[in-house]
Amino acid sequence: MVGVDREGVGAGRPQFVVADATADAIGVGATVTLDEGAARHMRVLRLEVGAVVGVRDGQGHVGAGQVVRLSKTHAHVEITEAVRVAPLPPVHLLVPVADRDRMLWLAEKVAELGATSWRPVLWRRSRSVSPRGEGVSFLAKVRARMEGALAQSEGAWLPQLFPEANLERAILAAPSGERIVLDPAGEPLIGEPLISEPLIGAPFRAPIVLAVGPEGGLEADEIAELEQAGFQRRSLGPTILRFETAAIGALAIARTALGRGTEATDESTDESTGERTDGSDD
């Protein structure tokens, strides 16, 4: 296997997410505390005091530092390098409330791909699923899976997590912008009408909201309600896809089309790289 050198603060080192960090926690000279899970992972990796690791808080702050204390329940890392990474162009996901394991798998993948927000929707056909992923404790599991994926993919931003909602509530809370609902009967998400446009073309203008239906598809009145709210029906191809496949495919296409956005900035010289555009939950 050919190795690939990665760039950036903390790149290529063991990565850890600082849970519940304050905005200025990852700064040069600061000492951050990692939880029991991180401490256990360090022991599995046979890291000791003095090891250099990468840390990130999921809110754009990325750093590297030395382990200065390691116990069974905590690890302490003194930060020697830090940057603030601007958020990617916003792509918000409305995912179905569905089978728990498949939702957790999807949560990992959308964190790797840099989704801006995650909102589960209780579609009509979601109600027949058992066991389905919903509730506060399940949302905590989603976050844990996303944190692990963020560390492994060396990302800077965790998706903003919202609790499950019915369709009406999800539409009201969705940010304005390009709204797309995945539907096998819709026009192609990409294809012949769009290839002459730069960066794949419309409808890829941030912010984007992608709505993904449940197993068995959306009901006609649900599609009508989405279209009335400005959602365009778009297809990923001639076959019926599982919800997690459809969500990953559409998010990957949108991310590729929109590009990276602003580069990272050294925290020691400039901490102002702009605000993140999040989904509204008002």
Is 90 exceeded by the pLDDT of residue 262? no
Nearest to 33 by CA among 47, 45, 19, 44: 19
pLDDT digits (tens, 9 = 90+) for 119-165: 999 999 999 999 999 999 999 999 999 999 999 999 999 999 999 99
Is 50 exceeded by the pLDDT of residue 269? no
CA distances from 219 to 46, 144, 166, 183, 191 (A): 53, 32, 14, 11, 26
pLDDT value at residue 270: 37
The H-assigned helical ranges of 95-235 are: 100-113, 136-153, 167-173, 220-228
Structure tokens at 44: 């599995």
pLDDT category, 238, cuts 50, 70, 90?
confident
Is 50 exceeded by the pLDDT of residue 90? yes
User: Average per-residue pLDDT in the chain?
Assistant: 85
240-270 b/e (C-beta count within 10 Å ≥ 16 → b):
ebebbebbbbbbebbbebbeeeeebbebeee
- The bridge status of strand 31-34 relative to strand 15-17 is unpaired
Contact 139, 161 (CB under 8 A): yes
Distance CA 263, CA 86 (A): 7
Give me the phi and psi of 156, to 5 degrees please: -115, -20
pLDDT digits (tens, 9 = 90+) for 35-62: 998 999 999 999 999 999 999 999 999 9
What's this model's pTM, rounded to 2 decimal places? 0.83
* CATH no. for 15-84: 2.40.240.20
**Bridge partners of residue 165, in order along the sequence:** 121
Is 156 or 260 the better-scoring residue by pLDDT? Answer: 156
Is 90 exceeded by the pLDDT of residue 22? no
Distance CA 127, CA 214 (A): 10
pLDDT digits (tens, 9 = 90+) for 156-208: 999 999 999 999 999 999 998 899 999 998 998 886 543 344 434 445 788 99
pLDDT digits (tens, 9 = 90+) for 7-16: 666 667 899 9
Which CATH architecture group holds 91-258?
3-Layer(aba) Sandwich (3.40)
CATH 2.40.240.20 maps onto the chain at: 15-84
Distance CA 114, CA 87 (A): 9
CATH 3.40.1280.10 maps onto the chain at: 91-258
Nearest to 53 by CA among 21, 84, 31, 23: 31
